[in-house]
């Protein structure tokens, strides 16, 4: 009996031990192995935060090199050549952001389920069907044949040197939580990181809702509600700049290419309208100092760890400072002693949807130019944590690209033609490497020449005085609404016939205005002979341009205030046309919202109540106006007109049938709709005030800076912040200015920057989110770009020394 | 008196070795070692359990506390938040309980085995 009891207990003990160590997974959710995780010597408590000076002997460096960390944990990299500098950059990024890099590459590839379990399966399937890994594989296959690929490889070697020296007990927290380990870094992973950025900036089109809307409305009505050009144009490249091209490329598409039937209700993602950026440079003739001031603040999804990694890289050839996107070499937004550079997203539609007609239900062949054409079948295997067998998904690839959305009828499907799938023909990975070593505007133009996608407005200011913006990337040559709607995929002529040569991309250099600015508005005016379509910005750019136009003797402090400006031109515009009759509406709270709005400066400050009321008003205004579209929306995806169109109709066509509410017997006008919306807003505001008498913009629309895994304990949520998507300080619920940088090109130059996060990816580090408060308050840090290792080392708090190891 | 001192010294040395094992090897090595030592040298299952449980509890509790202090309580704050608002001190307690339970259980099983194979070797 004692023996039996002993054996049972032993078996039970071993079982619990194996579960506690993670060898057996009894739970469907990925929970950490409780004993291994709780072990204070190697588990969660072993946080590896206070890293002392480290010595690394590596074959990857040709001479001694060093990384010094300063009191904000910024790595200052000193190397004797570019190759070694990139090796150290890879090491530093892995040292601080390994999990982030790994997670983003897995997310891009659709491989999250392997570490997160079945909860991310749908997400993974979406990425596979979108062909993200296919795109990255194409990129790597092309890169490997390129002459300077060894430089990208140096960065990868640096990452792997860190991984190889990493003991399991020092794995980042997230690996311990998910009970997994880092994988070797590869060029494919770097490519995936870059493709993820492409997806954010030039993926997720609106072809389906536009197609459905066009097919459901009268053509005149569609043209009125969905115009592509504003009356007063304000493109990145000013209207007065001519486009005198001798030859135009591509062919005009037959309008019969557009699908005329409704597309069934399918789930698809459209681009986050808040994603964007500001970049402007004030020329030397407009500043108090007589030197250019360069400003850039990209508005991307905010997260922890931050999307950006700040660093300073010094070699005998250059002294560069700025931010990189961890996982990819070079500095994307930064400066050296000669130039400052940065980007904003172009937003041109480079992703088109084609309706494929299958020959039979097997989905193996489709019709193209009257012939049966075989689809290539790509089998995607998705590994799911806790399951032994991977899930297989067969994705047909057509001449256009992968079948992105399968329909229910098996006769037709939607294929995606995305520029990011194409193998690059140029050394795109060199763009941000070469930028570090540019000494003039012209050199910068040359260094950014190989860039392909996602197309960016590349801004540059040179100490010599040049300022400019070039729209840079590969663009299909389109005309007259090509790619705006879903197209028939049974004719090869419906596809892209040519690409715009780079010399025909819009470009502005030293304009008479003495400043250049881009904020995701149209890059080119109507005069540009090629068709530009996309979800362009309509308000932020105007505020920037008006502010800069009306300012002289500009200082750095002015620019800091401007980057933090929460003024919404949209709010000001809509409030200016509020009918006076709204003054009678007060609601139960007896607050005179009309006069409050009229005296409001349209600044979306966190403590203000007016933005809350205005947002409610605008919500009801849209809802009441677009009741016709709401009916359509129940059947299919449609799009609503942009707010500037709504404003234009209120002021210029108050009797437009759009304002008539279908459900009522009377005929409503714009004024009626405004009144109704104001009443509804006042009512809703009353309820909000009853629930929280201190409700304000900061609590109404708080900001969440979530950890990659969305674990709240690793995130910072419910932050009260200034700004709104239409303001220069473009803040949304989960996005905002992800890096504010100002470079004043005096001698010596001065630079300032801040981002909402911290340098370390380790949640237990004091540098994990130490800059959030400064960012919230509009404060900046001085960016120290001293090229002397002696000066930097005297202030450093930690370092990593590299010595050469002969292989 | 001298015999008692010797016993205490041996016990302290033993715990010192267990601390070293915890520090330099995997966490599961400790229960394995405890099982063997208990089999060889311990006679009373209850005592063996209590002694090992208490020592490992204190070791894991104290080490968690010290390591947490190095990052101003960030780890316990994270674990407390992850577990839905437990008091921070409970995170050390839970850690200690896990360490203690494995060691105590292993010690108990070691003595059980000793009884079964009827080997009776006193702790020297």
Return d(Cα B100, Cα B53) in angstroms, integer. 4
Return d(Cα A748, Cα A751) in angstroms, integer. 10
Question: What number is the average pLDDT over the span A574-588?
Answer: 89
**pLDDT at position B84, please?**
84
Residue B124 has pLDDT above 50, yes or no: no
**pLDDT at position A805, please?**
79
Radius of gyration of chain A (CA): 28
Return d(Cα A509, Cα A185) in angstroms, integer. 40
Residue A252, helix vs strand vs coil: coil
Report the Cα A683 to chain-centroid distance in Å: 36
- Which tokens in the block code for residue A268? 């698809």
CA B73 vs CA B66, B80, B96: distances in Å: 9, 10, 17
**pLDDT at position B123, please?**
46
Question: What number is the average pLDDT over the span A798-802?
Answer: 94
Domain ranges of chain A: 569-700
Question: What is the residue-averaged pLDDT of chain A?
Answer: 93
Per-residue buried b or exposed e for A281-320, using 16+ beta carbons within 10 Å of the residue's own CB? bbbbebbebebbbbbbbbbbbbbbbbbbbbbbbbbeebbb
Residues A564, A722 contacting (CB under 8 angstroms):
yes
- Residues A683, A684, A685, A686: is their CA dihedral positive or negative? positive
Report the Cα A647 to chain-centroid distance in Å: 28
Set of chain A residues whose Cβ sits within 8 Å of the Cβ of B70 = 47, 49-50
CATH number for the domain running over A569-700? 1.10.1400
A65 backbone dihedrals φ, ψ, rounded to 5°: -145, 165
Question: What number is the average pLDDT over the span A200-213?
Answer: 89
The count of other CB atoms within 10 Å of the CB of residue A8 is 10
Residues A448, A426 contacting (CB under 8 angstroms):
no
Residue B119 has pLDDT above 60, yes or no: no
Residue A636: pLDDT band by 50, 70, 90 thresholds?
confident
A230 vs A163, which has greater pLDDT?
A: A163
Return d(Cα A737, Cα B95) in angstroms, integer. 40
Report the Cα B46 to chain-centroid distance in Å: 14
Residue A749, helix vs strand vs coil: coil
Say if the Cβ atoms of B74 and A39 lie within 8 Å: no
- A413 Cβ contact partners less than 8 Å away, ≥ 6 residues apart: A355, A356, A358, A363, A396, A403, A405, A406, A407
CB-CB: which of A3, A41, A766 is closest to B116? A3
Residue A264 has pLDDT above 90, yes or no: no
Lowest mean pLDDT among A198-207, A263-272, A426-435: A263-272
Lowest mean pLDDT among A26-40, A469-483, A589-603: A26-40
Q: Chain A: residue nearest B61 by CA?
A: A40
Return d(Cα A269, Cα A538) in angstroms, integer. 22
The CA-based diameter of chain A, rounded to the nearest angstrom, is 98
Q: Measuring CA to CA, which residue among A517, A10, A652 is closest to residue A237?
A: A517
**Exposed/middle/buried for A141, CB within 10 Å: 0-12, 13-18, 19+?**
middle
Q: Does A52 touch chain B (CB under 8 A)?
A: no
Question: What number is the average pLDDT over the span A591-603?
Answer: 94
Q: Does A769 touch chain B (CB under 8 A)?
A: no
Residue A605 has pLDDT above 70, yes or no: yes
Residue A2 has pLDDT above 90, yes or no: no
pLDDT tens digit sequence for A672-724: 999 999 999 999 999 999 999 999 999 999 999 999 988 899 999 999 999 99
Residue B10: pLDDT band by 50, 70, 90 thresholds?
confident
Element (H, E) at B18: helix B2-24
In this prediction the ipTM stands at: 0.93
Q: Which residues pair with A324 in a beta bridge?
A: A309
- Angle at alpha carbon of residue A297, lines to A334 and A287, rounded to 5°: 80
Q: Measuring CA to CA, which residue among B60, B57, B94 is closest to residue A41?
A: B60
Return d(Cα A247, Cα B39) in angstroms, integer. 91
Per-residue buried b or exposed e for A468-507, using 16+ beta carbons within 10 Å of the residue's own CB? bbbbbbbbbbbeebbbbbbbbbbbeebbbbebbebebbbb
Element (H, E) at A378: strand A376-382
Q: Chain A: residue nearest B105 by CA?
A: A13
CB-CB: which of B71, B82, B98 is closest to A35? B98
Residues A562, A547 contacting (CB under 8 angstroms):
yes
Adjacency order of strands within the sheet including A319-324: A54-58, A798-804, A65-69, A75-78, A309-314, A319-324, A333-335, A339-345, A456-462, A467-472, A507-509
Q: Does A47 touch chain B (CB under 8 A)?
A: yes
Set of chain A residues whose Cβ sits within 8 Å of the Cβ of B56 = none
Lowest mean pLDDT among A99-103, A154-158, A266-270, A659-663: A266-270
| Beta-sheet pairing, A376-382 with A703-707 | unpaired
User: In chain A, pLDDT over 90 holds for what percent of residues?
Assistant: 79
Q: Closest approach of chain A CAs to the CA of B8, in angstroms?
A: 26
**Exposed/middle/buried for A144, CB within 10 Å: 0-12, 13-18, 19+?**
exposed
Residue A335, helix vs strand vs coil: strand
Return d(Cα A755, Cα A308) in angstroms, integer. 8
Set of chain A residues whose Cβ sits within 8 Å of the Cβ of B64 = 38, 40, 45
**pLDDT at position A54, please?**
85
Element (H, E) at A703: strand A703-707
| Beta-sheet pairing, A303-304 with A703-707 | parallel
Q: Which residues pair with A371 in a beta bridge?
A: A368
Which of A 703-722 lie inside 8 A of B, CB atoms? 711-714
Q: Measuring CA to CA, which residue among A194, A682, A250, A212 is closest to residue A456?
A: A194
pLDDT tens digit sequence for A517-545: 999 999 999 899 999 888 899 999 999 99
Q: Measuring CA to CA, which residue among A23, A710, A686 is closest to residue A303?
A: A710
Say if the Cβ atoms of B71 and A765 lie within 8 Å: yes
Radius of gyration of chain B (CA): 16
Set of chain B residues whose Cβ sits within 8 Å of the Cβ of A712 = 81
Residues A136, A195 contacting (CB under 8 angstroms):
yes
- Residues A637, A643, A648, A653: is their CA dihedral positive or negative? positive
Residues A528, A549 contacting (CB under 8 angstroms):
no
Report the Cα A722 to chain-centroid distance in Å: 20
Set of chain A residues whose Cβ sits within 8 Å of the Cβ of B94 = 38
Question: What number is the average pLDDT over the span B64-83?
Answer: 92
Q: Which residues pair with A736 in a beta bridge?
A: A300
Return d(Cα B34, Cα B31) in angstroms, integer. 5
CA B15 vs CA A212, A404, A517, B28, B101: distances in Å: 74, 62, 69, 16, 16
Q: Measuring CA to CA, which residue among B28, B82, B30, B88 is closest to residue B61?
A: B88
Residue A310 has pLDDT above 70, yes or no: yes
Residue A271: pLDDT band by 50, 70, 90 thresholds?
low
Say if the Cβ atoms of A45 and B28 lie within 8 Å: no
Choosing among B32, B57, B62, B64, which should be mutated to test the A contact, i.e. which has the most A CBs within 10 A? B64
Return d(Cα A75, Cα A326) in angstroms, integer. 13
Residues A77, A96 contacting (CB under 8 angstroms):
no
Q: Measuring CA to CA, which residue among A411, A106, A126 is closest to residue A268?
A: A126
Return d(Cα A129, Cα A266) in angstroms, integer. 14
Q: How many residues does chain B have?
A: 124
Residues A94, A159 contacting (CB under 8 angstroms):
yes
Report the Cα A185 to chain-centroid distance in Å: 23
**pLDDT at position A266, please?**
67
């Amino acid at each position: 009996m004692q023996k039996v009891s002993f054996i049972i207990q032993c078996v039970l003990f071993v079982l619990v031990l194996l579960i506690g160590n993670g060898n057996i997974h009894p739970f469907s959710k990925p929970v950490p192995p409780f004993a291994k995780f709780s072990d204070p010597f190697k588990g969660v408590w072993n946080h590896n935060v206070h890293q002392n000076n480290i010595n690394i002997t590596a074959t990857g460096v040709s001479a001694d090199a060093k990384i010094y960390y300063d009191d904000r944990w910024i790595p200052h990299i000193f190397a004797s050549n570019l190759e070694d500098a990139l090796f150290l950059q890879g090491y530093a990024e892995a040292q601080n952001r390994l999990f982030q890099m790994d997670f983003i590459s897995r997310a891009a590839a659709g491989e999250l389920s392997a570490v997160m379990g079945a909860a991310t399966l749908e997400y993974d399937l979406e990425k596979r069907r979108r062909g993200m890994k296919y795109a990255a594989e194409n990129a790597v296959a092309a890169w490997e044949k390129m002459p300077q690929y060894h430089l990208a490889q140096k960065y990868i070697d640096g990452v792997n040197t860190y991984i190889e020296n990493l003991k399991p007990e020092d794995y980042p927290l997230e690996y311990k939580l998910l009970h997994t380990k880092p994988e070797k870094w590869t060029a494919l992973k770097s490519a995936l990181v870059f493709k993820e950025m492409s997806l954010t900036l030039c993926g997720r089109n609106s072809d389906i809702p536009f197609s459905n809307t066009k097919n459901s409305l009268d053509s005149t009505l569609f043209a009125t509600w969905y115009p592509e050009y504003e009356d007063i144009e304000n493109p990145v490249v000013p209207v007065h700049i001519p486009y005198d091209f001798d030859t135009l490329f591509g062919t005009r598409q037959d309008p019969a290419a557009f699908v005329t039937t409704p597309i069934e209700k399918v789930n698809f993602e459209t681009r986050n309208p808040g994603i964007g950026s500001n970049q402007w440079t004030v020329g030397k003739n407009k500043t108090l100092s007589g030197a250019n001031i360069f400003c850039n603040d990209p508005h991307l999804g905010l997260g922890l760890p931050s999307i950006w990694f700040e660093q300073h890289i010094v070699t005998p050839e250059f002294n560069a400072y700025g931010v990189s996107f961890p996982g990819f070499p070079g500095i994307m937004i930064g400066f050296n002693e000669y130039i400052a550079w940065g980007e904003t997203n172009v937003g041109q539609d480079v992703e088109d949807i084609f309706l494929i007609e299958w020959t039979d239900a097997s989905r193996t062949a489709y019709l193209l130019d009257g012939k049966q054409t075989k689809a290539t079948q790509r089998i995607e295997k998705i590994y799911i944590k806790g399951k032994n067998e991977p899930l297989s998904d067969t994705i047909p690839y057509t001449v256009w690209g992968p079948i992105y959305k399968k329909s229910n009828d098996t006769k037709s499907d939607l294929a995606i033609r995305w520029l990011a799938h194409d193998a690059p023909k140029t050394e795109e990975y060199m763009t941000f490497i070469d930028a570090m070593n540019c000494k003039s505007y012209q050199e910068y133009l040359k260094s950014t020449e190989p860039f392909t996608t996602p197309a960016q407005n590349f801004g540059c200011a040179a100490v010599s005085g040049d300022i400019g913006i070039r729209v840079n990337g590969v663009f299909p040559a389109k005309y007259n609404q090509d790619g705006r709607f879903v197209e028939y995929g049974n004719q090869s002529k419906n596809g892209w016939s040519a690409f715009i040569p780079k010399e025909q991309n819009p470009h502005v250099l030293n304009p008479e205005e003495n400043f250049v600015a881009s904020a995701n508005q149209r890059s080119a005016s109507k005069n540009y002979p090629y068709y530009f379509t996309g979800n362009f910005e309509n308000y932020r750019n105007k505020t920037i341009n008006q502010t800069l136009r009306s300012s002289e003797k500009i200082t750095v402090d002015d620019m800091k205030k401007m980057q933090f400006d929460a003024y919404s031109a949209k709010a000001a515009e809509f409030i200016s046309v509020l009918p006076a009759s709204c003054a009678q509406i007060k609601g139960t709270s007896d607050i005179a919202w009309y006069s409050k709005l009229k005296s409001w400066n349209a600044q979306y400050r966190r403590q203000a109540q007016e933005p809350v009321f205005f947002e409610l008003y605008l919500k009801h205004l849209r809802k009441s106006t677009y009741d016709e579209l709401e009916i359509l929306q129940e059947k299919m995806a449609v799009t609503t007109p942009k707010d500037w169109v709504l404003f234009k109709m209120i002021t210029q066509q108050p009797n437009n049938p759009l304002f008539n509410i279908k459900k009522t017997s009377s005929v409503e006008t714009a004024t009626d709709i405004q009144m109704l919306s104001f009443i509804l807003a006042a009512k809703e505001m009353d309820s909000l005030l009853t629930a929280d008498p201190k409700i304000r913009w900061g609590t109404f629309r708080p900001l969440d800076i979530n950890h990659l895994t969305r674990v709240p304990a690793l995130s910072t949520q419910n932050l009260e912040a200034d700004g709104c998507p239409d303001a220069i300080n473009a803040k949304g619920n989960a996005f905002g200015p992800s890096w504010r940088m100002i470079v004043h090109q005096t001698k010596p130059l001065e630079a300032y920057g801040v981002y909402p996060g911290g340098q370390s990816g380790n949640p237990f580090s004091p540098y994990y989110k130490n800059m959030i408060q400064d960012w919230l308050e509009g404060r900046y840090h001085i960016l120290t770009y001293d090229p002397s290792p002696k000066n930097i080392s005297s202030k450093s708090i930690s370092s990593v020394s590299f010595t050469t190891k002969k292989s | 008196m001298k015999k008692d001192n010797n016993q205490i010294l041996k016990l302290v040395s033993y715990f010192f070795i267990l601390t070293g094992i915890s520090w330099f090897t995997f966490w599961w090595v400790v229960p394995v070692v405890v099982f063997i030592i208990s089999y060889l040298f311990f006679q009373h299952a209850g005592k063996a359990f209590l002694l090992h449980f208490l020592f490992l509890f204190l070791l894991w509790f104290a080490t968690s506390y010290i390591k947490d202090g190095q990052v101003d309580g960030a780890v316990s704050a994270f674990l407390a938040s992850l577990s839905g608002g437990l008091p921070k001190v409970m995170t050390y307690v839970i850690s200690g309980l896990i360490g203690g339970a494995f060691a105590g259980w292993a010690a108990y099983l070691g003595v059980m085995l000793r009884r079964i194979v009827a080997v009776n070797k006193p702790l020297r």
